């Protein structure tokens, strides 16, 4: 029952989840071994591991339950990594010592692969007096720049980088600078940004009242609340940030309202967390549970769903005990509250297979039915665990039962909590599932609509040739299997680009009713949406009970996403047009260097310069990028100590250029053009103007041999980066490229940029 349903799923397993030794040897011989490793590790904390391991293993079959990526990759490996995806760090003290202690904690957390969230509202505003030294404060934005640099440094050291979230209260005196900070395309690129919008602020916006910007009881500025709201909206309209988090609603509906105050979230917003809080994620794959897809009896079996949720809750609760934590405070926080975030993925595919169009009243009702069933089963399972193992340590029966979210539970679940307590303080969350959704056969992500019915990716074949491979949405693949490859699509097959903003909001609002944490969801909007209509999306989200809102509109700062072409069979008569969203593109430049794989293939060339006593050895190592072999690094060595400094410099500079991505063949032409005023040399019947030109010739030969350029003299004559930058600023947005493989076949899913060629996601 364990099989890959798409080639990209196998590639993701190979790259992200297959357990390998430091030397690159595969310790998981098959996907089944990976699943057994995870099941064994999570069952090991049970009193009867042999009873639970097969049940945990069965939950993973057919990708029905998908633990988050760090669990799949780390459980049972004995590696010093955390199994938790993200953390909200401790409150930042308003002192230099406290700020840099917080920075150290962030670095230690990110070193183990955890994403982090921070509230920067606690740092005094720019220009405020700093007592004792007679100076003015530089403000929270300056320290955010330090955090940003730290994240880049950890990434450049080869560690897996988690994403970062920065929040700021809507009444902080530096909120206007925070809102505008990403207008500079080079600033704070490691951060997602969100404004903490309070109930009082939203009421002032709707009433068009004045709004004070305050710190430590001092009013620094008063402005119209609606003007500040417009600035937030304009920034988000122009470059997709900041998001908006309705923080008072989050705290009011928190099951732990009596034990914690929340002022930040994890990087994608689905887990509002207290200081040192951690998010532990997993998803029920609804698409894998649909019986009789596209048939008259299509649906999800209630008993199977309930049983699967019960096992998933137990597995996730065990992760709390099985995981390592970067900081002792994080371990203490996790074990005191045992917070988990069980969500779903494949919702849109499941709706399509059940004959329901995403965003319609029928879809809202069906989604609510599935999610309420998951909520009730999760809470019931946690009550059962409390009866067996004890309630979470901070459980206060009277206060917990008084919470608004708990009050909405069915009576039999509330009775169980009253009698036995509950094992987990919070249980549900809908997270970004970009990578694990691809891993499960390209099911639709989270509660998002289907993003693309299909797209093409370039793959390198064993014989060295290249081919294009179609990656098909899970529901579309099932349709083709059942109805034939050319069968017209029903109107239930709609994509994110087909939907009105309202369709997105009503689905998020309905889901939020049954989710005790929050939801990571991106509302994809067309570039030409009027600003007023764009602003209305956020107001509708606020009025309909959402805990936050994130949109994406293509723009010149963050770029565009996957391009659309028409090639998939159209819906049946009367239905809206459907589109195949296919990647297109030539080489592009990337903002971050490629990560170095553990092993690389390469060739060493010997270069003998006439009259020199020592040869130069040039090693070229390559990496596969989007199915194409390309140079990744170079090493230039010689026993001639006169060559030492410049060979080291050349090694570092050329390798840095290679890792930027793009068409790096200009390096060849630049080196070949270098002449030595002392004279060159004749080599194999050809005059070479300098030893650097000879090195350029060796690099050119290698690029030809790996088919990166077509032949000698066919490389670029100059670095095209400058021209590309001009193009960005003039009339179009260049899609972001993957920092792992360099492909620009990327999409934005639930606030996370996901590579559709290699499966890389900055959110894990």
Of 268, 546, 741, 752, which one is the catalytic site residue? 268
Residue 526: exposed, middle, or buried by beta-carbon count in 10 A (0-12, 13-18, 19+)? exposed
- The whole-angstrom separation of Cα 628 and Cα 34 is 28
Residue 268 falls in the annotated catalytic set = yes
Contact criterion met (CB below 8 Å) for 337 and 394? yes
Four-CA torsion 214, 216, 220, 226, nearest 10 degrees:
0
Query: What is the distance between the alpha carbons of residues 428 and 371, in angstroms, rounded to a whole number?
Result: 10
SS3 content of the chain, % helix, strand, coil (to 5): 40, 20, 40
Quote the strand ranges of 97-234, DSSP E.
115-119, 129-130, 135-136, 164-169, 191-197, 210-215, 218-224
33-40's contacts with Cβ under 8 Å and 24+ in sequence apart are 34/72, 35/2, 35/60, 35/61, 37/75, 37/76, 37/77, 38/67, 38/71, 38/72, 38/75, 38/76, 40/76
The catalytically annotated residue of 53, 260, 270, 633 is 270
Structure tokens of 618?
């040039």
Peptide bond into 582 cis (omega under 30): no
d(Cα 25, Cα 685) in Å, to the nearest integer?
46
Are the C-beta atoms of 385 and 373 separated by less than 8 Å? no
Residue 48, both tokens: 């009867």
Residue 266 CB partners (closer than 8 Å, separation 6+)? 85, 86, 87, 88, 115, 116, 117, 165, 273, 279
Q: Which of 251, 255, 266, 524 is catalytic?
A: 266
Element (H, E) at 636: strand 628-638
Q: Is 46 a catalytic residue?
A: no
Active site residue 151: no
d(CA 19, CA 762): 20
Check if the beta carbon of residue 429 is closer than 8 Å to that of residue 342.
yes
Give the residue numbers annotated as catalytic, written as ranges.
266, 268, 270
């Amino acid at each position: 029952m364990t099989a890959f349903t798409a080639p990209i799923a196998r590639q993701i397993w190979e790259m992200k989840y297959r357990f390998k030794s430091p030397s690159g040897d595969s310790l998981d011989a098959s996907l089944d071994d990976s699943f057994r490793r995870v099941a064994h590790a999570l069952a090991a904390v049970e009193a009867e591991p042999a009873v639970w391991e097969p049940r945990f293993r069965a939950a993973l079959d057919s990708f029905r339950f998908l633990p988050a990526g760090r669990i799949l990759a780390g459980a049972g490996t004995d590696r010093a990594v955390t199994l938790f995806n993200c953390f909200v760090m401790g409150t930042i003290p308003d002192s230099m010592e406290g700020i840099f202690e917080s920075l150290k904690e962030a670095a230690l957390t990110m070193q183990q692969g955890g994403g982090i969230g921070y509230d920067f509202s606690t740092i005094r505003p720019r220009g405020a007096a700093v007592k004792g030294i007679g100076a003015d404060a530089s403000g929270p934005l300056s320290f955010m720049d330090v955090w940003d640099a730290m994240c880049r440094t950890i990434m450049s050291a080869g560690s897996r980088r988690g994403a970062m979230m920065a929040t700021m209260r809507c009444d902080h005196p530096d909120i206007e600078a925070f809102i505008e900070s990403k207008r500079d395309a080079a600033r704070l690129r490691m951060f997602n940004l969100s404004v903490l919008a309070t109930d009082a602020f939203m009421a002032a916006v709707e009433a068009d009242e004045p709004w004070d910007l305050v710190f430590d009881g001092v009013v620094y500025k008063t402005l119209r609340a609606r003007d500040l709201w417009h600035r937030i909206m304009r920034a988000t309209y122009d470059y997709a940030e900041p998001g908006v988090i309705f923080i008072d609603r989050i705290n009011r509906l928190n099951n732990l309202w009596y034990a914690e105050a929340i002022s930040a979230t994890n990087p994608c917003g689905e887990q509002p967390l207290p200081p040192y809080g951690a998010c532990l994620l997993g998803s029920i794959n609804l698409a894998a549970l649909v019986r009789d897809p596209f048939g008259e009896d299509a649906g999800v079996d209630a008993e199977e769903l309930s049983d699967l949720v019960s096992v998933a809750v137990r597995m996730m609760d065990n992760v709390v005990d099985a995981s390592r934590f970067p900081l002792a405070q994080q371990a203490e926080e996790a074990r005191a509250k045992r917070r988990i975030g069980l969500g779903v993925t494949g919702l849109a595919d499941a709706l399509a297979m059940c004959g329901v169009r995403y965003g319609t009243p029928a879809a809202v009702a069906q989604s609510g039915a599935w999610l309420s069933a998951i909520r009730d089963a999760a809470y019931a399972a946690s009550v059962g665990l409390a009866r067996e193992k004890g309630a979470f340590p901070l459980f206060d029966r009277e206060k917990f039962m008084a919470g608004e979210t708990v009050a909405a539970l069915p009576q039999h679940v509330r009775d169980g909590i009253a009698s036995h307590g509950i094992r987990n303080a919070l249980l549900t969350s809908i997270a970004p599932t970009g990578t694990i959704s691809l891993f499960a056969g390209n099911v639709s992500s989270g509660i998002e609509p289907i993003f693309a019915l299909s797209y093409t990716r370039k793959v390198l074949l064993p014989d060295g040739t290249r081919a294009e491979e179609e990656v098909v949405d899970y529901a579309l693949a099932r349709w083709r299997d059942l109805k034939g490859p050319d069968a017209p699509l029903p109107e239930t097959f709609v994509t994110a680009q087909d939907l009105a903003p309202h369709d997105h909001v009503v689905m998020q609002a309905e889901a939020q009713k049954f989710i005790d944490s929050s939801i990571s969801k991106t509302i994809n909007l067309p570039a030409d949406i009027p600003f007023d209509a764009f602003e209305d999306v956020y107001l509708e989200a606020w009025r309909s009970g959402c805990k936050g809102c994130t949109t994406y509109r293509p723009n010149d700062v963050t770029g565009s996403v996957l391009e659309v072409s028409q090639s998939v069979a159209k819906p049946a008569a009367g239905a809206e047009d459907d589109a195949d969203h296919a990647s297109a593109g030539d080489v592009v430049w990337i903002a971050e260097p490629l990560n170095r794989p553990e092993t690389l293939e390469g060739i060493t060339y010997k270069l003998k310069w006439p009259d020199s006593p020592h040869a130069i050895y040039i090693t070229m190592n390559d990496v596969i990028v989007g199915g194409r072999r390309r140079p990744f690094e170079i090493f230039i060595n010689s026993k001639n100590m006169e060559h030492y400094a410049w060979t080291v410099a050349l090694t570092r500079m050329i390798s840095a250029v290679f890792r930027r991505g793009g068409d790096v063949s200009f390096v060849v032409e630049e080196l070949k053009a270098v002449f030595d005023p002392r004279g060159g040399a004749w080599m194999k019947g050809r005059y070479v103007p300098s030893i650097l030109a000879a090195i350029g010739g060796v690099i050119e030969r290698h690029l030809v041999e790996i088919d990166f350029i077509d032949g000698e003299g066919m490389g670029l004559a100059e670095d095209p980066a400058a021209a590309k930058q001009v193009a960005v600023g003039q009339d179009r947005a260049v899609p972001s490229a993957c920092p792992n493989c360099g492909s620009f076949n990327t999409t934005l899913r639930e606030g996370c940029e996901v590579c559709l060629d290699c499966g890389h996601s900055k959110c894990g």
